[in-house]
Chains A and B, each alone.
Chain A
Amino acid sequence: MYRYDDIDQTLVAERVNEFRDQTRRFLAGELSEDDFRPLRLRNGLYIQRHAPMLRIAIPYGLLSSTQLRKLGDIAHRYDRDYGHFTTRQNLQLNWPTLASVPDILAELATVQMHAIQTSGNCVRNVTADHLAGVAPDELDDPRPYCEIIRQWATLHPEFTYLPRKFKIAVTGSPADRAASEVHDVGLHMRRDAAGEIGFEVLVGGGLGRAPAIGQVIRDFLPLTDLLSYLEAILRVYNRYGRRDNIHKARIKVLVKSLGAAQFRDEVEAEWRAARADAPQLAWAEVERVRAFFKPPPYESLADIDVTADREPEFRAWYRYNTRAHRVPGYRAAFVSLKAHGRPPGDMTSAQMAALATLAEEMSFGLIRVAHDQNLLLADVRQQDLYATWLALRREGLATANIGMLTDMIACPGLDFCGLANAGTISVARDIQQRFDDLDYLYDLGEIEIKMSGCMNACGHHHVGHIGILGVEKHGEEWYQITLGGSVNGFTALGEVIGPSVPQRAVPATIERIIEVYRERRDEGERLIDTYRRIGLAPFKERVYASRAQAA
């Protein structure tokens, strides 16, 4: 993975000093709340329902064991012994005190981490495929380019105060495990006829209010022009994006109002005009960064059957929680943060420490964060999978439900978030309880439930096979259900199934949707496939048939 040099380390240290000074001035009454807000937001610090929430950046979801151990240690000493992994591969602490945040940042800097630009109207953490570098279907590893983008975007003086937040995702695989088409900019790695690496560029995707799928504005962008082109996009956005209405300030609104073709023309014109002074990526720099992402020293091994004569629980874990690896004899193993009865994405300090040690023993000391709020050991020797499973199971991290209905995405919701309209954690728990039988879940197959506590859609509900959106209705928490959303190479936005339902009715509503699926599915068909074949109507009919009495 990337290692800071003197320049990177100095920058982070100077940022800590700056934020320490800003926090001191706020606490001393020298800075007003209005003046402090944009400063703290640019450093991932929200003032939430109970306490500040600090969002720590995990660039493109890659952690060393040292970093994960430090995160656990920070959560233990400054918070309540746990952290929450998000859909943008970051970690959130829910209970730090404001006065302790500069110290937390200083601790993070000792392991080459920070919270720079994890919130605020600026370029946010750059995310990537969690299987980057190991997926058999990958064109090339996107992470060196994520790191180059990370550095370019960090404290970029011109794009400090954009109209709204700006999210970039990069993927090197057609399966798009980074949800890149619902990002402000999605970059898809491509090769041209000469075999040179470049990017297909999508702009204007996003969830939140008025969700939109990104549109292609360039089929192939040569690698050396990566930063100059991003700079052109951001400059057009910074100049012409709306600033009069926060709900219309994302780049997707600008792209929609101009039309993708005109937006592209604006960007191309700006790009050409800026070429004399725009940053060109030097090959030496590309090579310098690429060298950090060279494959680890894999052993020369053959694929083996590790499930024979093992217990059914291990076989299920192997089937559902591990993935193919491009190197023979290895597999990628998910670390499920979706244990039934636990808030999705939460992890305790003890679990972090244990996983750090396990990663050192089994996976070259590296851990990935997936956008669906699970972690991953990407490089486990197949012969070590059983021992890995035993160790994960001891820590409650081996729930064999990856891709299954209870592998839900959920934002923190009303329990923590100052923006939320409705809770998510208790709804997730109710669904987990109702669908607690793993064999039943396996029969249902791949089902993605994604849940957000408000329109901001941090839980990606629009692109869930089943989406759940919390809404407030007469002071009560109600939930709007959508069907048919997806990402992963085929991006679609879900359709609202009908009127929202009260909290207690959510699990039963999910169950009715599942009933229809079980009755109507063809052999081997997933819920999303059945939905695409038969449409919304049969589901809608069943959900609302008896609800008049039920609700």
Chain B
Amino acid sequence: MRRVLKRREIVADDWRHLEEDPGAASGTHSVIVPWKELRANFETWSARQGRLGVRISPTDKIEDMTAELERCALVAVEFPTPSEGRGYTQGRLLRARCGYAGELRAVGAAVKRDIIFALARCGFDAFEVAAGEDLEACAQALERYTVAYQAGAPGSLSLRQRISA
């Protein structure tokens, strides 16, 4: 079973991606469904037993997710390449604007220790790291900085602060 970094702990992942495991749809597994699929068949997915998550790509507009977001216990945001930066804003807006309080998970080949800290500051609390990446090192990267100039997410309004772990 996959392991993920979740709320600073390395834990077994109890979610399945529909794309990796189409059979996951049938049971009561916790399943992560791509946004396009969820949007197209929301009633079916919504009526299903089991926890529901959604996976969004860099071009998906989070403003389009309303009822769907309320139904979801997990949002997975894609970071496919090191230069792809839209997911940081998606995460920030999900927390600050949409009031989303469930699991916010970074997924994709670029999710490695060197971006974990910034992701956490944008509101991500779960990290499904790239294949081969060291989860322990990622957990340590969450402690990399003890100070920041910007408010955290969701955060205080202080522009200069010590970050309490």
Interface segment among A89-97, A149-157, A454-462: the answer is A149-157
Report whether A151 and B149 are in contact in the complex, using a CB–CB cutoff of 8 Å: yes
B144: chain A residues at CB < 8 Å are 14, 17-18
Query: Chain B nearest CB: distance from A49 CB in Å?
Result: 24
Could you give, for residues 125-164 of chain A, a 1 whenever the CB lies within 8 Å of some chain B CB and a 0 otherwise?
A: 0000000000000000000000000011011111111110
Q: In the bound complex, how far is the Cα of B160 from the Cα of A227, in angstroms?
A: 13
A10: chain B residues at CB < 8 Å are 146-147
Residue of A nearest to B134 (CB): A30
- Identify A235's interface contact among B58, B84, B89, B149, CB under 8 A: B89
Name the interface residues of B118-165: CB closer than 8 Å to any CB of A: 118-119, 121-122, 144-151, 153-155, 157, 159-162
Query: Chain B nearest CB: distance from A391 CB in Å?
Result: 39
Q: A14-B146, A152-B149, A158-B122 are in contact. Are A163 and B157 (CB under 8 A)?
A: no
Report whether A243 and B82 are in contact in the complex, using a CB–CB cutoff of 8 Å: no
Q: Is B25 on the interface with A (CB-CB < 8 A)?
A: no
Report whether A11 and B96 are in contact in the complex, using a CB–CB cutoff of 8 Å: no
Q: In the bound complex, how far is the Cα of B96 from the Cα of A276, in angstroms?
A: 9
Q: Is A322 on the interface with B (CB-CB < 8 A)?
A: no
In this complex, the member of B115, B147, B154 whose beta carbon has the largest number of chain A beta carbons within 10 angstroms is: B147
- Identify A238's interface contact among B85, B119, B121, B145, CB under 8 A: B85
Report whether A155 and B86 are in contact in the complex, using a CB–CB cutoff of 8 Å: no
Q: A38-B83, A273-B97 are in contact. Are A7 and B88 (CB under 8 A)?
A: no
B119: chain A residues at CB < 8 Å are 157
Query: Chain B nearest CB: distance from A245 CB in Å?
Result: 13
- Identify A157's interface contact among B88, B97, B162, CB under 8 A: B88
- Identify B157's interface contact among A17, A37, A39, A279, CB under 8 A: A279
B82: chain A residues at CB < 8 Å are 34-35, 37-38, 161
Q: Is A285 on the interface with B (CB-CB < 8 A)?
A: yes
In this complex, the member of A155, A163, A235, A281 whose beta carbon has the largest number of chain B beta carbons within 10 angstroms is: A155
Report whether B97 and A238 are in contact in the complex, using a CB–CB cutoff of 8 Å: no
Q: In the bound complex, how far is the Cα of B131 from the Cα of A171, in angstroms?
A: 48
Q: Is A280 on the interface with B (CB-CB < 8 A)?
A: yes
Number of interface residues of A (CB under 8 A): 39
A281: chain B residues at CB < 8 Å are 159
Report whether A7 and B162 are in contact in the complex, using a CB–CB cutoff of 8 Å: yes
Report whether B150 and A152 are in contact in the complex, using a CB–CB cutoff of 8 Å: yes
Q: Is B92 on the interface with A (CB-CB < 8 A)?
A: yes
Q: In the bound complex, how far is the Cα of B146 from the Cα of A35, in angstroms?
A: 25
Query: Chain A nearest CB: distance from B2 CB in Å?
Result: 21
Q: Is A277 on the interface with B (CB-CB < 8 A)?
A: yes
Q: In the bound complex, how far is the Cα of B126 from the Cα of A526, in angstroms?
A: 63
Name the interface residues of B99-126: CB closer than 8 Å to any CB of A: 112, 114-115, 117-119, 121-122
Query: Chain A nearest CB: distance from B21 CB in Å?
Result: 28
Report whether B85 and A151 are in contact in the complex, using a CB–CB cutoff of 8 Å: no
Report whether B147 and A158 are in contact in the complex, using a CB–CB cutoff of 8 Å: no
B122: chain A residues at CB < 8 Å are 157-158
Query: Chain A nearest CB: distance from B50 CB in Å?
Result: 32
B114: chain A residues at CB < 8 Å are 18, 22, 35, 39
Could you give, for residues 76-99 of chain B, a 1 whenever the CB lies within 8 Å of some chain A CB and a 0 otherwise?
A: 000000111110110010001100
Number of interface residues of B (CB under 8 A): 35
Report whether B83 and A14 are in contact in the complex, using a CB–CB cutoff of 8 Å: no
Report whether B147 and A161 are in contact in the complex, using a CB–CB cutoff of 8 Å: no
Q: In the bound complex, how far is the Cα of B85 from the Cα of A159, in angstroms?
A: 7
Report whether B149 and A154 are in contact in the complex, using a CB–CB cutoff of 8 Å: yes
Name the interface residues of A26-64: CB closer than 8 Å to any CB of B: 34-35, 37-39
Report whether A160 and B89 are in contact in the complex, using a CB–CB cutoff of 8 Å: no
Q: In the bound complex, how far is the Cα of B117 from the Cα of A17, in angstroms?
A: 14
- Identify A11's interface contact among B88, B115, B145, CB under 8 A: B145
Q: In the bound complex, how far is the Cα of B92 from the Cα of A276, in angstroms?
A: 13
Q: Is A67 on the interface with B (CB-CB < 8 A)?
A: no
A99: chain B residues at CB < 8 Å are none
Report whether B88 and A161 are in contact in the complex, using a CB–CB cutoff of 8 Å: yes
Q: In the bound complex, how far is the Cα of B97 from the Cα of A159, in angstroms?
A: 17
In this complex, the member of B92, B96, B150, B151 whose beta carbon has the largest number of chain A beta carbons within 10 angstroms is: B150
Report whether B151 and A279 are in contact in the complex, using a CB–CB cutoff of 8 Å: yes
Residue of B nearest to A37 (CB): B82
Q: A11-B149, A156-B150 are in contact. Are A243 and B83 (CB under 8 A)?
A: yes
Q: A11-B145, A155-B148 are in contact. Are A160 and B84 (CB under 8 A)?
A: no
Q: In the bound complex, how far is the Cα of B150 from the Cα of A152, in angstroms?
A: 6
Report whether A35 and B88 are in contact in the complex, using a CB–CB cutoff of 8 Å: no
Q: Is A474 on the interface with B (CB-CB < 8 A)?
A: no
Q: Is A401 on the interface with B (CB-CB < 8 A)?
A: no
Q: A7-B162, A38-B83, A227-B159 are in contact. Are A157 and B121 (CB under 8 A)?
A: yes
B58: chain A residues at CB < 8 Å are 243
B160: chain A residues at CB < 8 Å are 7, 151, 285
Residue of B nearest to A5 (CB): B160
22 interchain pairs, CB-CB under 8 A? A7-B147, A10-B147, A11-B149, A18-B114, A37-B82, A38-B82, A151-B159, A152-B149, A155-B145, A155-B149, A156-B150, A157-B88, A157-B121, A158-B89, A161-B84, A163-B85, A235-B89, A238-B86, A277-B97, A279-B151, A281-B159, A282-B159
| The 9 nearest A-B residue pairs measured at CB | A161-B85, A157-B121, A157-B118, A277-B96, A151-B149, A38-B82, A158-B88, A7-B147, A10-B147
Q: What residues make up the interface of A, taking CB atoms closer than 8 Å to B?
A: 7, 10-11, 14, 17-18, 22, 34-35, 37-39, 121, 151-152, 154-163, 227, 235, 238-239, 243, 273-274, 276-277, 279-282, 285
Q: A18-B144, A155-B149, A239-B89 are in contact. List 20 more A-B contacts (CB 8 A).
A: A10-B146, A18-B145, A22-B114, A38-B83, A151-B149, A154-B149, A155-B118, A156-B150, A157-B150, A159-B85, A159-B88, A160-B85, A160-B115, A161-B83, A238-B86, A238-B89, A239-B86, A276-B96, A277-B154, A279-B151
